[in-house]
């Protein structure tokens, strides 16, 4: 993981960073894989005594707990919904299947190191990134997202709904199955004027990072797909002046107009598909013989990736926003 362009002289709180990384790390509870990974980054450059020195910041995490045997044979009988087949087509027999290689959710760990650092640098400028689980399967948390859920073991706003979500995950797990969900994110304290038109817009900048997180299949800003059903007169956010500042009375646009922030919270939601690696029997094919084959995936997999995806989404948002801030002249 290498971050370029960080200003020199910024001190990084390593303890806070580790706390952030622990939110993503697996093996902490009953809804995530029992694989235990330390996720302790080792910084190779860019820091002098926890202070950025202007050089590119590079950190690595070693993968200490891979049971390669778990992944034998996946290049011959690919898991449905996973990248086994497409990686095999692209890279031939050379793809790295141990632990999922470049397609593994584990690769969100370096994203979280980079994002965790950006989150700290944003906070110094009064910008906060908060997020929560908005839904698991068909269970939705409809209370508004206004405060951080970072301290909660299960990051929802409404803990009662959270209990129902956990039951949904437990039910899927009991059946050897998995379940998806939605993560909602808000960036608070952003100045107006960040981003730009066309391919420079905040929507494109954020989505190109968020789609780098495995299992994301959709993203929407503000009310997103919901805007489709509204009339323009309902969807447009009226301008008002509050304490000498221009605000909008609603925030259907998610704080972005014409690709540029308007000073309201920047909000978006990302859809995560259910984890493709499930214990249930599935229909696949043997790529050597081109005959059907029933697959039962071994290995230790999350019945639901969504809780651990919450800090990944915060990291992605922080990277995109901090990059846009740095690029301003």
**Does 253 interact with a copy of itself (rule: CB under 8 A)?**
yes
Please identify, using beta-carbon distances, which residue of 93 and 144 lies nearer to a copy of itself. Answer: 93
**Does 90 interact with a copy of itself (rule: CB under 8 A)?**
yes
Q: Using CB under 8 A, which residues numbered 131 to 190 contact a copy of itself?
A: 135, 137-138, 172, 175, 177-182
How far apart are alpha carbons 149 and 162 in whole angstroms? 12
167's CB contacts (< 8 A; 6+ apart) are none
316's CB contacts (< 8 A; 6+ apart) are 111, 115, 206, 209, 210, 212, 213
Q: What is the dihedral of CA 104, 83, 79, 270, to 10 degrees?
A: 70
Instruction: Concatenate the DSSP letters of all residues of 70-127 into one string.
Output: GGTTTTTSPPTTSSHHHHHHHHGGG---GGGGGGSGGGHHHHHHHHHHHHHHHHHTT-
* Per-residue mark of binding to a copy of itself, 16-55 (x: CB under 8 A): ----------------------------xx--x--xxxxx
Q: Residue 145: helix, strand or coil by DSSP?
A: coil
Q: Using CB under 8 A, which residues numbered 105 to 124 contact a copy of itself?
A: 107
Please identify, using beta-carbon distances, which residue of 151 and 229 lies nearer to a copy of itself. Answer: 229
CB of 169 to a copy of itself, least distance (A): 11
**Does 288 interact with a copy of itself (rule: CB under 8 A)?**
no
Q: Using CB under 8 A, which residues numbered 189 to 228 contact a copy of itself?
A: 192-193, 195-199, 201, 203-205, 207-209, 211-212, 214, 216-225, 227-228
**Does 67 interact with a copy of itself (rule: CB under 8 A)?**
no
CB of 16 to a copy of itself, least distance (A): 20
Q: Select from 38, 76, 170, 271 the one that contacts a copy of itself (CB under 8 A).
A: 271
**Does 93 interact with a copy of itself (rule: CB under 8 A)?**
yes
For the annotated binding site for NADP(+), the residues are 24
223's CB contacts (< 8 A; 6+ apart) are 230, 235, 252, 254
**Does 80 interact with a copy of itself (rule: CB under 8 A)?**
yes
Q: Is 195 left (phi over 0), alpha (psi -120 to 50) or beta?
A: left
User: How many positions of this chain bind a copy of itself (CB under 8 A)?
Assistant: 126
Cβ neighbours around 296 below 10 Å, total: 10
CB of 298 to a copy of itself, least distance (A): 15
């Amino acid at each position: 993981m290498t971050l370029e362009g960080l200003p020199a002289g910024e001190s990084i709180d390593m303890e806070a960073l580790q706390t952030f990384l622990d939110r993503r790390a697996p093996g902490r509870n009953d809804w995530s894989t029992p694989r235990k990974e330390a996720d302790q980054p080792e910084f190779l450059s860019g820091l002098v005594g926890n202070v950025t020195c202007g050089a590119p910041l590079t950190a690595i995490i070693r993968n200490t707990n891979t049971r390669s045997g778990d992944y034998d044979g996946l290049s011959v009988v690919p898991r449905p919904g996973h990248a086994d087949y497409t990686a095999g087509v692209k890279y031939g027999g050379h793809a790295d299947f141990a632990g999922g290689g470049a397609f593994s959710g584990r690769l969100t760990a370096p994203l979280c190191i980079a994002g965790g650092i950006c989150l700290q640098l944003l906070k110094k400028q009064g910008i906060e990134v908060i997020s929560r689980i908005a839904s698991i399967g068909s269970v939705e948390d409809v209370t508004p997202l206004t405060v951080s859920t970072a301290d909660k073991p299960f990051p929802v706003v409404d803990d009662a709904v959270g209990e129902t979500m956990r039951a949904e995950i437990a039910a899927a797990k009991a059946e050897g199955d998995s379940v998806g969900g939605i993560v909602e994110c808000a960036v608070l304290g952003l100045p107006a004027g960040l981003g730009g038109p066309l391919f420079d817009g905040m929507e494109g900048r954020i989505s190109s990072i968020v789609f780098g997180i495995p299992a994301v299949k959709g993203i929407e800003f503000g009310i997103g797909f919901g805007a489709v059903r509204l009339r323009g007169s309902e969807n447009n956010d009226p301008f008002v002046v509050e304490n000498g500042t221009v605000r909008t009375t609603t925030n259907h646009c998610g704080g972005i107009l014409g690709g540029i922030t308007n000073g309201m919270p920047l909000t978006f939601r990302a859809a995560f598909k259910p984890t493709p690696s499930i214990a249930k029997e599935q229909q696949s094919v043997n790529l050597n013989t081109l005959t059907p084959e029933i697959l039962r995936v071994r290995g230790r997999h999350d019945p639901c990736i969504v809780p651990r995806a919450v800090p990944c989404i915060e990291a992605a948002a922080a990277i995109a926003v901090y990059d846009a801030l740095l690029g301003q002249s």
